Amino acid sequence: MKTVYIHENQLATAGELLANGGLVAFPTETVYGLGADARSDEAIRCIFEAKGRPTDNPLIVHVASFEQIYPLVLDVTAATKRLMVRFWPGPITLVFPKSKLVSNVVTAGMDTVAIRIPSHPWAHAILKHAQIPVAAPSANRSGSPSATTWQAVQQDLDQRIDAIVCGPPTDIGLESTVVDATGEHPRILRPGKITWEELVKVCPSIIPYSGHVDLENAVLNSPGLRHRHYQPRAHVTLVHGHLPGVNQEAWFIGLNKSSGTDSCSRCLYCDSVEDYSARLFDFFRQADDAGVRTIFCEEVNESGIGVALMDRLRRASQS
């Protein structure tokens, strides 16, 4: 399959391709997404195939407006409504009981559907042109770091999908926060840019992200968390304060100069936890392109977006 490359003045074309059953990668404020018609079993199966994604890992459905949501869901709880009003459009995904309109392939057979209205102007324009609900997981091969640039999408999915929208690098660089507010106690299923500190102001009883990687039990709440994720080919080691040994072949990313970083062949010091989050996945990909064997990642405090960054770092470092 020949992949078409789409530019800013052709976003209507991207929308049309999606509406006609095509697979199109496009930028959002979190990471690049790989979109297809959420009502079509056939189009959705193509997403799983292009990514090599396990079919028990459900996808997030993206829409441009509140009105588009009601046909897709059976109910909107009061807590969910408050979250929609406060945080959409934006980097948070909410879980709803699904209607028949949503393909069972999207939800991996679950009776709930995860939905998001992205705030990125390009994503918004494409969804508006498409006029359909668009299921869009991260636009990378399954297991690899998410794509934060169109070149990363090209590297993973060229010749496997219909089109790639060549937008700017993504701002946030980590995937959306996922919240399930269908039950009595809203719960954070995946940490992201919208933090517990912000969510608790809207939902005082919200259950924080459990904070540890529990591959066995993750399936109960959010199947995607059970799978390997975010891993470069290089071995990732988390460090705090100092690096073990002499590491001439290794790369380092973090906030602070630590003892031992001098011996690394490349060091990337980030200005803030937000900056670190935005640059992490691209750094992983650059390290793989350079054939680096070891990446040291400095741990950060687990508050604010630090919870999300530490979650991704732990998953990347799992052997």
User: Is residue 225 near ligand AMP by the rule CB under 6 A?
Assistant: yes
Q: What's the CA gap between 66 and 85, in Å, rounded?
A: 9
- Write the CB contacts of 190 (distance below 8 Å, at least 6 apart in sequence): 93, 175, 176, 177, 178, 209, 222, 224, 225, 311
Binders of ligand AMP among residues 190 to 219 (CB under 6 A) are 190
Give the footprint of ligand AMP on residues 239-258 (CB under 6 A). none
What does 142 interact with, of Mg ion, ligand AMP, none (CB < 5 to 8 A by kind)? none
Choices 39-47, 109-117, 194-202, 274-282; region in contact with ligand AMP by CB under 6 A: 109-117
Q: Is 152 in the site for ligand AMP (CB under 6 A)?
A: no
Q: How many CB atoms lie within 10 A of CB 214?
A: 13
**Given the complex with ligand AMP, which of 23 and 264 has the nearer CB atom?**
23
Residue number, 294 or 317, with CB nearest to Mg ion? 317
Q: CA-to-CA distance for 237 and 239, rounded, in angstroms?
A: 6
Q: Are 249 and 265 in contact (CB under 8 A)?
A: yes
Output the CA–CA distances (angstroms, integers) from residue 10 to 23, 47, 166, in the order listed.
16, 22, 10
List phi, psi (to 5°) of 188: -85, 115
Q: Which one of the spans 3-11, 21-29, 56-64, 272-280 is the region binding ligand AMP (CB under 6 A)?
A: 56-64
Q: Which is nearer to ligand AMP, 54 or 304 (CB)?
A: 54
Is 15 a binding residue for ligand AMP by CB under 6 A? The answer is: no
By a kind-dependent CB cut-off of 5 to 8 A, residue 73 interacts, out of Mg ion, ligand AMP, none, with none
11: left (phi over 0), alpha (psi -120 to 50) or beta: alpha
Instruction: Select 94 or 300, whichever has its Cβ closest to ligand AMP.
Output: 94
Q: Is the peptide bond preceding residue 89 cis, with omega within 30 degrees of 0?
A: yes
The answer to whether residue 60 forms part of the interface with ligand AMP (CB under 6 A) is: yes
Pick 122 or 230: Cβ nearer ligand AMP:
230
Which residues within the stretch 110-139 sit at the binding site for Mg ion (CB under 5 A)? 138
Among Mg ion, ligand AMP, none, residue 203 binds (CB under 5-8 Å by kind)? none
Indicate which single residue of 169, 208, 223, 304 sits in contact with ligand AMP (rule: CB under 6 A).
Answer: 223
For the bound state, the minimum distance from the C-beta of residue 203 to Mg ion, rounded and expressed in Å, comes to 25
**Encoded amino acid at 175, one letter:** E
Provide DSSP, 196-226.
HHHHHHH-TTPBPP--S--TTTHHHH-GGGG
Total Cβ atoms within 10 A of residue 290: 11
CA distance 277 to 270: 9
107 near ligand AMP, judged by CB under 6 A: yes
Determine if 137 is a binding residue for ligand AMP (CB under 6 A). Answer: yes
Total site size for ligand AMP, rule CB under 6 A: 20
Q: Choose the stretch contacting ligand AMP; rule: CB under 6 A; options: 53-61, 123-131, 232-240, 274-282.
A: 53-61
Identify which range of 104-112, 191-199, 249-257, 303-311 contacts ligand AMP by CB under 6 A: 104-112
Strands 266-269 and 24-26: unpaired
Q: How many CB atoms lie within 10 A of CB 245?
A: 7
Q: Helix, strand, or coil here: 94?
A: strand
Q: Is 102 a residue that touches ligand AMP (CB under 6 A)?
A: no
Q: Is 222 in the site for ligand AMP (CB under 6 A)?
A: yes
- Which spans of this chain sit near ligand AMP (rule: CB under 6 A)? 57-60, 95, 107, 110, 112-114, 137-138, 175, 178, 189-190, 222-225
- Which spans of this chain sit near Mg ion (rule: CB under 5 A)? 138
